[in-house]
Amino acid sequence: MDILYKIFIDPFVQMGGAPDLLVQTLWEGLVGGVLYALIALGFVLIFKASGVFNFAQGIMVVFAALTLVGLHEHGVPAYVALALTIAVMFGLAFTIERLVLRPLVNQPDIILFMATFGMTYFLIGLGELVFGGNPKIMIASELGLPRGAIEIKMLGGFVSLQKIDIAAAIIASIMVTVLAIFFQKTRIGRALRAVADSHKAALSVGISLEQIWVIVWFAAGIVALATGIMWGARSDVSFALEIIALKALPVLILGGFTSIPGAIVGGVIIGVGEKLGEFYWGPLLGSGIESWLAYVIALIFLLFRPQGLFGERIIERI
Amino acid sequence: MFYREAGQFKTSYSADESVFPILQDRIGIAVILGLAFVVIPLTATSFTLSSVLIPVLIFSLAAIGLNLLTGYTGLLSLGTGGFMGVGAYACYKLTSLFPNANIIVLILASGFFSAGIGAVFGLPSLRIKGFYLAVATLASQFFLSWCFVRVPWLVNYNVSNAIEVPTRTMFDIPITGPNATPMTRYLVVLSIVVGMTWLASNLLRGRIGRTWMAVRDMDIAAELIGIRLYRTKLLAFAVSSFYCGVAGAMMVFLWLGAAEADSFNINQSFLILFMVIIGGLGSLIGSFFGAAFIWGLPIVLKMLPEFFGVKIHAATVEHLQFMTLGALIIFFLVVEPHGLARLWQIGKQKLRVWPFPY
Amino acid sequence: MRAPTSGPEVAAGDVLLSVENVSLSFGGVKAVTDVSFDIRKGEIRAIIGPNGAGKTSMLNVINGFYHPQKGRISFKGKTRSKMRPHEAAHGGIARTFQNVALFRGMTALDNIMAGRTLKMHRNFFWQLLRFGPALAEEVEHRHRVEEIIEFLEIQAIRRVQVGRLPYGLQKRVELGRALAMEPELLLLDEPMAGMNLEEKEDMSRFVLDVNNHYGTTIALIEHDMGVVMDLSDRVVVLDHGIKIADGTPDQVKSNQKVIDAYLGVAH
């Protein structure tokens, strides 16, 4: 009985007892969720357009952030470094298309998945070789990102919001809006959705797969860069960040591999659920449950909706 | 010229269905087994045994385990490391519970624990497929990793939080522990791996293998010819995890001698998956090739600069290793997506028609 | 070939399977509406209709892949509204598919052997050892499969991966897999689609032979009217998910509704 009380009653008593703490936890979950959502967004973009489960998305985040910081360390002004990093991400997209995607077109999904593992290893090696393996500090203030925190008095206590987190949320929403408009309203966006549906059919109406792939991987690179800046500003830039890519995966099974709104909503659910679980139920199980809690949340959702939150119900035909 | 099946007629279906229907293959496998069991133990240095041959054999077994699931049943799993860990920890608990039992029996028995855990974590496969399932298996990986760190009971409340392998003997010869010679350990590992490979090949050529492959190739049609998907998939998870569990137990008891939770983390899962893919999905012999390749590559890469007398900073070597490994994986996938096993097949075919091109 | 052992025996000419008032819809789309017909033991029953008439959906309902919202199905006297596909397979219903649904990574031999799954009973541990009884079982079934391979004249391709075979041969292997189940009722979904004249003639011969030699009841969907009229004993016609005619080929041919459905009608 005692354990049941601790699971089902006690956490809620705590939440009611200190509402400001609850709000603080929710906010932190939300911000974490936004960052998960951004990584998931990179996955979704690539999966939609090229059917590749891009394991390298996490390392692309680190690689982009590292390039940016590394260039600045070598004396390049912050905004020039930003522009150069964008150029590097374009070069990366182009190279990947040319050396990996094009030779592997029409291969089974798992082979492409493995190829992205290869990319991961390659980028880790390259990044460390060029910029060194030590953790670096993100050049947040040089890029004009705000610092410090806002403290709001509410519910009989304080809730403190980091300005950088607010900026992250705003930038994330702008990016998603821009991407959504791009997909829905432009010619390239339409071509991209066509490619997502069927490579062959898209080819037959004269859409260039190569071009689309470069664009999509470039877009994913930009998303990775933004994620890298945001995440790097909260902690250091190092290859430990790679692990966050694994944390974004439950977001994908929750939101569906092909749904942009799914990535956002899924990210927020996972972020908030994870923080609440860690904070209120964590002490019961010992710490560190963050590492798998997100997966459990996603799996429970999956039991009820195998196609994910926003995936379409699949009618199997034969 | 020498590798031909011409003139070898089978007069019964059982002869036609044997593992090596061609005489030359039977001779070949006898030679390989002879080398492995007699020549190598007599000639190999203990470094070769404990740093190359033993790990390659153990990883081959783990790769076979994953191949049964991913290559033959089509269920992508990223939880191999966790299942190997279950085997290792189960074996450790078994040795402390039954100090007098035969260690080889315990190693094999620990496979049943990971089989059970594997079947439980295979349950999501009944509802979800493909990459969704792959991500779901990551859940098992992270959960199990967490258990290995957080449940001190698993390591008998050791302060070091690690498995420390006790000495166990058979016929008064130490098999595990610090006193066991590399040669004994090698022979034990080799026997287990050969035996289990043989069993796997039996399984794959019979009804169960066919139901697995049927589910892999087209699950709907498989269901319509009377195959029960949930049984087939869960059996695949269980058998696969059994193999991984035994490999994990051997890894700690017959190779490393001690292990922490980190030995069974997600990188281990990825490593085994590389072996399976590079070796060839759906191929037993490919699992051996893949394990040898992925394990051997870093060793070769490490030795290359020394060999050429080039002095490079150790950290740089490591970075270059990562890059080379990554590039080689991509290169191999581009050149032969069906893995080393396919190259082997092509080689055999060429040999068969030699000296003619086809 | 032996008849399946489960369920009561049905004498030739009696109703083997009857479909009563079956309706099936996906969301708002009605695939089949209130359709009833029966299949008698030993006959060749054709199901025809224009594209999108609900023929394949009907077969999917019969072997349990779709569950109808309304109506009942009786097979060998047992009535049911819901059944899993493997239960249908157990009961003796086998089928081939419109778009070949073979196990592409397996050889022709293994595909047909897979059809014997339900007939093989040696358990996991025998399978593991593949020795004595397990091997004997394997060889016994191999004998039966070789009979089928001989019957379908595909000896030369038994060791070929089916993914590499031309379409016509794939269809034949698929028929072989269905026959390996020794079904009582064989459902063929457009067995001759996309074939040339010669291949069609071959396939027609196989269908007739299966029906004559083994007494297997056959339900087939086919668009080639010549084939349908020649092969089948009775024909049921669907249009937009509704049954519009049922009878012998001659009766159906002269039915005004059928002519309208196929040729269109002035409104």
Same domain, C171 and C154: yes
B126-155 confidence digits (pLDDT tens)? 777 777 888 888 888 888 888 888 877 877
Residues 6 or more apart in contact with residue A278 via CB below 8 angstroms: A287, A289, A290, A293
The answer to whether residue B255 sits within a structural domain is yes
The answer to whether residue B11 sits within a structural domain is no
| CA atoms of C143 and C140, how far apart (whole Å) | 5
The answer to whether residue B232 sits within a structural domain is yes
Residue C160, pLDDT > 70, answer: yes
* % of chain C residues with pLDDT over 90: 9
A 81-100 residues with CB < 8 A to B: 99-100
CB atoms B334 and A114 under 8 Å: no
CB atoms B210 and C114 under 8 Å: yes
Average pLDDT (C112-134) is 81
Same domain, C87 and C19: yes
Q: Is-contact B90 B113, C-beta < 8 A?
A: yes
> Which residues in chain B are closer than 8 Å to C133, comparing Cβ atoms?
none
- Taking the Cβ of residue A315 and every Cβ of chain C, the question of whether any pair is shorter than 8 Å is answered with yes
Query: For helices B130-150 and B80-97, what crossing angle results, to 10°?
Result: 30
C166-198 confidence digits (pLDDT tens)? 888 898 899 999 999 889 899 998 888 888 888
The last residue of one of the domains, among C127, C147, C181, is C181
> Which residues in chain C are closer than 8 Å to A318, comparing Cβ atoms?
56, 60, 65, 97-99, 101
CB atoms C26 and A315 under 8 Å: yes
Assess: ipTM above 0.90.
no
The answer to whether residue C54 sits within a structural domain is yes
Report phi then psi at A152, rounded to 5. -110, 130
The answer to whether residue B69 sits within a structural domain is yes
* % of chain C residues with pLDDT over 70: 95
Same domain, C109 and C220: no
Same domain, C48 and C117: no
- Taking the Cβ of residue C99 and every Cβ of chain A, the question of whether any pair is shorter than 8 Å is answered with yes
Number of domains in chain A: 1
| CATH for A6 | 1.10.3470
- Taking the Cβ of residue B221 and every Cβ of chain C, the question of whether any pair is shorter than 8 Å is answered with yes
CB atoms A122 and B322 under 8 Å: yes
The answer to whether residue B349 sits within a structural domain is yes
Tell me the pLDDT band of C5, cut-offs 50, 70 and 90: very low
Q: Which amino acid is at C149?
A: I
CB atoms A107 and B333 under 8 Å: yes
A215-241 confidence digits (pLDDT tens)? 888 988 988 888 888 888 777 777 766
Residue C7, pLDDT > 60, answer: no
- The phi-psi region of residue A256 (left if phi > 0; otherwise alpha if psi is between -120 and 50; otherwise beta) is left
| CATH for B298 | 1.10.3470
Number of domains in chain C: 2
Q: What's the pLDDT score for residue B247?
A: 93
| CA atoms of A296 and B136, how far apart (whole Å) | 9
The answer to whether residue A310 sits within a structural domain is no
In this complex, the residue of B134, B149, B323 whose CB is nearest that of residue A126 is B323
Q: What's the pLDDT score for residue B192?
A: 92
Residues 6 or more apart in contact with residue B104 via CB below 8 angstroms: B170, B175, B188, B192
Low pLDDT (below 50) residues in chain B: none
Q: What's the pLDDT score for residue B238?
A: 93
C74-114 confidence digits (pLDDT tens)? 888 788 767 788 888 888 889 898 888 889 888 898 899 88
In this complex, the residue of B127, B130, B142 whose CB is nearest that of residue A302 is B127
Q: Three-state DSSP class for A260?
A: helix
CB atoms A318 and C99 under 8 Å: yes
> Which residues in chain A are closer than 8 Å to C101, comparing Cβ atoms?
318
Q: Which of C66, C97, C100 to mutate to test the interface with A (most CBs of A within 10 A)?
A: C66
The answer to whether residue B17 sits within a structural domain is no
Q: What's the pLDDT score for residue B83?
A: 93
The answer to whether residue A119 sits within a structural domain is yes
Nearest CA in chain B to C161: B217
| CATH for C243 | 3.40.50.300
Neighbours of A112 (CB within 10 A): 22
| Strand partners of residue C96 | C188
CB atoms C65 and A315 under 8 Å: no
The answer to whether residue B155 sits within a structural domain is yes
For residue C61, what are its two tokens?
């309902």
Number of domains in chain B: 1
Q: What's the pLDDT score for residue A189?
A: 82
The residue range of the domain holding C194 is 1-92+183-267
Tell me the pLDDT band of C257, cut-offs 50, 70 and 90: confident
The answer to whether residue A309 sits within a structural domain is no
- Taking the Cβ of residue A110 and every Cβ of chain C, the question of whether any pair is shorter than 8 Å is answered with no
The residue range of the domain holding B286 is 22-353
Report phi then psi at A143, rounded to 5. -85, 5
Chains contacting chain C through 3 or more C-beta pairs under 8 A: A, B
CB atoms A117 and B274 under 8 Å: yes
Q: What's the pLDDT score for residue C2?
A: 43
Q: Choose the weakest-confidence range: A73-87, A207-221, C5-19, C120-134.
A: C5-19
CA distance A304 to chain C (A): 19
CB atoms B322 and A110 under 8 Å: no
Q: Which of B121, B135, B137, B273 to mutate to test the interface with A (most CBs of A within 10 A)?
A: B135
The closest of A58, A46, A54 to A243, measured between CA atoms, is: A58
Q: Is-contact A39 A58, C-beta < 8 A?
A: yes
Same domain, C173 and C200: no
Whole-number average pLDDT of chain C: 85
Q: Three-state DSSP class for C121?
A: coil
Q: What's the pLDDT score for residue A240?
A: 67
Query: For helices B80-97 and B103-121, what crossing angle results, to 10°?
Result: 140
Low pLDDT (below 70) residues in chain A: 1, 133, 140, 144, 155-157, 240-242, 283, 285-287, 306-318
The last residue of one of the domains, among C153, C181, C209, is C181
The answer to whether residue B1 sits within a structural domain is no
Same domain, C6 and C81: yes
